[in-house]
């Protein structure tokens, strides 16, 4: 069982699971603009009658490491999760799919939808045996409860030959 630190300065680690999420001046506004972009795109797509068939939101910070009760990996708010939630609700319970293709597994997005069947989450990412976030993104993580079968991970082994080094090394 974890014990929450008494020192307020150390309590940030209770909610942030890594050191790659520094909060500095402008962090909140950047995260807010990113999630607003995703939400605006989702609302445009969710309007009835449908007037657009596709939308694209460029969001930075990305968001997929932010979960139900934590943040990390330079993700503070989960943009894809917010957009999926809006699409599911405003389209009357429509099924939504999030396909996350990137170097790191979107552990936060998986966390948010792991026990839900209205959002299918799939991630193609570096093998968590080799790369961050290490503790999630394995193929056997398929969801639980109502969400069983609605989570699909495709970890890929990463092995590079660095030019001039003669050494094979994982990224």
User: In this structure, what CATH number is given to the domain that contains residue 133?
Assistant: 3.40.800.20
Domains held by the chain: number = 1
0.75 exceeded by the pTM? Answer: yes
Based on the residue annotation, tell me whether 65 is a catalytic residue of this protein: yes
pLDDT in tens, 52-85: 888 889 998 889 999 999 999 999 999 999 999 9
| Residue 126, domain extent | 12-162
Q: Determine contact, residues 106/119, Cβ cutoff 8 Å.
A: no
Q: Determine contact, residues 98/109, Cβ cutoff 8 Å.
A: yes
pLDDT in tens, 88-131: 998 887 889 999 999 999 999 999 999 999 999 999 999 999 89
Q: How far apart are CA 156 and CA 165, in angstroms?
A: 23
169 is a domain residue: no
167 is a domain residue: no
Q: How far apart are CA 153 and CA 140, in angstroms?
A: 8
7 is a domain residue: no
Other C-beta atoms closer than 10 Å to the C-beta of 92 total 8
Q: Determine contact, residues 109/100, Cβ cutoff 8 Å.
A: yes
Choose among 116, 122, 78: nearest CA to 95: 116
pLDDT in tens, 7-55: 887 777 778 888 778 889 999 999 999 999 999 999 999 887 878 888 8
Given 28, 64, 65, 125, the catalytic residue: 65
């Amino acid at each position: 069982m974890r014990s929450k630190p008494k020192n307020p300065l150390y309590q940030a680690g209770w909610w942030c699971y890594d050191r790659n999420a520094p909060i500095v001046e402008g962090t909140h506004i950047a995260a807010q603009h990113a999630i607003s972009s995703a939400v605006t795109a989702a609302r445009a797509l969710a309007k009835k009658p449908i007037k657009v068939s596709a939308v694209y939101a460029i969001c930075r910070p990305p968001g997929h490491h932010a979960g139900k009760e934590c943040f990390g990996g330079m993700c503070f708010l989960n943009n894809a999760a917010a957009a999926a939630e809006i699409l599911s609700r405003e389209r009357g319970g429509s099924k939504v799919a999030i396909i996350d293709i990137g170097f790191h597994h979107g552990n936060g997005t998986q966390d948010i939808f792991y026990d839900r069947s209205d959002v299918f989450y799939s991630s193609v990412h570096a093998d968590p045996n080799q790369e961050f976030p290490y503790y999630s993104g394995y193929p056997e993580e398929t969801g639980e409860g109502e969400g069983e079968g609605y989570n699909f991970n495709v970890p890929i082994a990463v092995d590079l030959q660095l030019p001039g080094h003669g050494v094979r090394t994982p990224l």
